Amino acid sequence: MPFSRKSASVKSDRRIALLLRERTSTPVDILKIASQLGLAPSTIEKILRGQPISDLTKRKIGPILEESRENSSVRRRRERVKRLREVHRLYQLKGSLEAVGVELGLSRERVRQLLKRGVQIGLFEYTPPRKTEVSKRKILEDYEHFISLRAVARANKITISSLYRLLRHYKISDTRLKKLKISGKKRICIERYNMIVRSLGFHPTTTRLQQIGIARSLLSNIRKIWGSIDAFRRELGIFI
């Protein structure tokens, strides 16, 4: 056999042996692959030891192993894509690299690397969090003041989606926000009422408030929040 043909044959033997080694690590694997290829287990062991095999055997199993490897590669790529999408989904849900890391048993840096990899191959968009995040206390105080999440986002120069991630990260519930909203509305009502009192010089009766144009909406809001003007006055210790 000319040297070039012998060299090609040796390379082919090595290639087939390599493909088999990728799929066999135990005696059970050898029996399984032998059954799939229609060969005797002893033939598989012979190939794994690096012994030469016939051209007929090469032509029979070479394409099958190559195709199997390609299919395996496709499956691995799909699994990687699935994993990257899951990391991104959890990041959107939990709002922080640390929280995702705890969920998946990964370091914060590894989560960041996976998100970055997903961006590189075009799976999704990911904007790294700013080094200085808005504190939980600041979010709560601002929401009670503005009574609007969009206003809170604008005041802290972050996107509304970033604010939602922080709400999830700090575990700020809708119930907590609802209480702050009521507290904020109460504060606004009290401020407006006190402004009217300063303008008149005394605490007006309900009839007097109804006669003041700007106080009519205030009365409506007081009834919605406190239930009645009397309940409002009792809370503020006002007696007329």
* Contact (CB, 8 A) for 85 and 124: yes
Instruction: Give residue 207's identity as a one-letter amino acid code.
Output: T
pLDDT of 3 reads 41
pLDDT of 26 reads 82
**10-residue stretch averages of pLDDT, the chain, 240 residues long:** 52 73 77 78 79 72 66 72 91 84 90 92 79 82 95 91 88 95 94 93 92 90 94 90
Integer Cα distance of 235 and 166 in angstroms: 34
pLDDT of 167 reads 92
Integer Cα distance of 173 and 175 in angstroms: 5
pLDDT of 1 reads 45
Would you give the DSSP letter of residue 74? H
In the chain, DSSP assigns E strands to none
